[in-house]
Structure 1
Amino acid sequence: MAFGKSKNRRRQDAAQTKEAVTGAVRTHGPGLLKAILLTGLTIALVWGGIELRRWALSSPTFLLKETTFSGLQRATPGELLKLSGLTVGQNLWALDVGALERAMSTHPWVREVYVRRHFPASVSVEVVEHVPAALGVLGDLYLLDEDGEPFKRLQPGDTLDLPLVTGVDREDYIADEAETRERYRQAIAVAHAYAATQPGKRERLSEVRMVAEGMVLVLADGMEVRMGEGETDAKLQRLSRVREELRSRGLSAEVIHLENRARPGWVAVKLSSPVSERNGASQ
């Protein structure tokens, strides 16, 4: 009888185990199947991605055939290609766009550069160049852009007719670049304002000299205009009226003072000596 009870117990245990397994499959089966499918799909995608990348990097379809440039005035395509190492036959997928932009940006005329890939086989390069606005004296002569940045040392081949900005030396620039650029920007703004009053370039501006009292304009004929600080437009209007009056009287000025802070509307003029007097001759 004991043997029969043991046999029945084993049958009951087996039935319970089967029922437990069936319940577990019924409860967890869908989730387990989903996990298996997702794992298989992930493996397939990874493998597919690896194979796709291998094909893209080796396919002749994506070999560079043409590079186009826009925005060039001073820099040349050849110079930028040489700096970047970009050549026909390189794979577009393998190009490091950021590295290409950084390399081309080392050209002295280049202010900003944007490289774009156009699949399957071309690249475009959009360049924003520095626009020279004046010359700065920092030991050597440097080209200054509109923001007052000295972006390039003046070379013999740089044929530019630009006003000179003086009064800042190299030590000043090294000590505080931001402050120096701001002063340069102010000087360039005054130069532009003056040029706007001389549309025919009849009396060209030669130099903007920055001094403790403000700014001094030096015209091509050597005449100095002491501008002081502030009210640039109003002062330039007074300057135009004074010069017109002097011309009408057949006179010329050596120095015109517009920097009187106590009486802003006042203008003082130091007349030029007659030619005969300057040469020491009697009339």
Structure 2
Amino acid sequence: MAFGRNKNRRRQDAAQRNEAVKGAVRSKGPGVMKVLALTLATGLLVWGGVELRRWALQSPRFELAAVSFSGLQRASRVELLRLAALTKGQNLWALDVGALERTMLQHPWVKKVEVTRRFPNRVSVAVTEHVPEALAVLGELYVLDEEGEPFKRVTPGDGLDLPLVTGVDREGYVADPEQARQRFQAALEVARAYTKEAVAGKPERLSEVRMEGRDVTLVAASGQEVRLGEGDSEVKLQRLARVRRELGARGLAAEIIHLDNRARPGWVAVKISSPVSERNGSAKQ
């Protein structure tokens, strides 16, 4: 009898286990199926992505056919393509845009560059160049851009006819580049103001901007010195234009024009060199 009871108990236990398994499947089955489906979908996406990338990197459809440039003035298309080692037939997907930009920035005239892939087979390059505004002696002759940055050495092929900024040497620039740049910027601001007056009154071409501490002296192409001193450059340059007109009307030429009287800012002192006729070699005998 004990044997029969054990047998019945085992049957009951088996039935209970089967029922428990069925209950677990009913309660957790949908969740398990979702996990399995998600895993399968992820695997398919990864596989599809790998295959798509392989196709994109090998497809002739994405082989570089043309490169367009904008903003070029001094830098040339050939030079930039050579620097970047950019040639036809390269795959657009394989191009490292950041690396291309960094290599093109090595060109001395290039200030900023933006490379954009134009699918399926073109690349555009937008270049911003340094704008040369003056020259500076920093051991060697350098070109200053519009921000007072000495961005390249002067070379024979540059063909630049720009005013020279003096009073900032190489040692000073190396010791404190930011302060030197600020002095260059101050010199450029005065040069721009002089050019603005030049457009209106056609004075002599500016040859040099001499920075002596905080004082500024302009040197014209004729050698005439205009000592502006410190501050109020635009007002002083307007006064300079009036002085030059008055001298011209009297047939006189000035060697030095002083506009740097700190005690009496409105005063002007002039050192006369010679009459204009004598300067031109046409004086009467």
TM-score of the pair, normalised by structure 2: 0.94
> How far did 1:83 drift?
0.4
Unaligned ranges ≥5, structure 2: 280-284
- 1:43 equivalenced with 2:43 (yes/no): yes
CA distance in 2, matches of 1:213, 1:20: 94
CA distance in 1, matches of 2:138, 2:54: 53
Aligned to 1:73: 73
Counterpart AA for 2:249: S
> How far did 1:202 drift?
3.7
Aligned to 1:232: 233
SS of residue paired to 1:157: helix
SS of residue paired to 1:195: helix
Moved over 2 A (4+): 273-277
The alignment's C-alpha RMSD in Å is 1.7
- 1:198 equivalenced with 2:206 (yes/no): no
Aligned to 1:260: 261
Counterpart AA for 1:77: R
- 1:104 equivalenced with 2:132 (yes/no): no
Larger mean CA deviation between 116-125 and 268-277 belongs to 268-277
SS of residue paired to 1:198: helix
Aligned to 1:186: 186
Counterpart AA for 2:195: A
Aligned to 1:152: 152
Counterpart AA for 1:270: K
Aligned to 1:280: none
CA distance in 2, matches of 1:266, 1:60: 76
> How far did 1:276 drift?
7.3
CA distance in 2, matches of 1:67, 1:221: 48
- Quick check: 2:252–2:274 contact (8 Å CA) kept in 1? no
- Quick check: 2:207–2:219 contact (8 Å CA) kept in 1? yes
> How far did 1:213 drift?
4.3
Deviation readout 1:10-45 (Å, 9 max, x if unpaired): 121112111211121122111110000000011111
Aligned to 1:57: 57
SS of residue paired to 2:133: strand
Change (3 A) 1:130 1:45: same
CA distance in 1, matches of 2:127, 2:149: 18
Deviation readout 1:225-251 (Å, 9 max, x if unpaired): 111111111111111111111112222
CA distance in 1, matches of 2:39, 2:64: 38
Deviation readout 1:77-108 (Å, 9 max, x if unpaired): 11001000000011110000000000011001
- Quick check: 2:71–2:127 contact (8 Å CA) kept in 1? yes
SS of residue paired to 2:157: coil
CA distance in 1, matches of 2:51, 2:202: 67
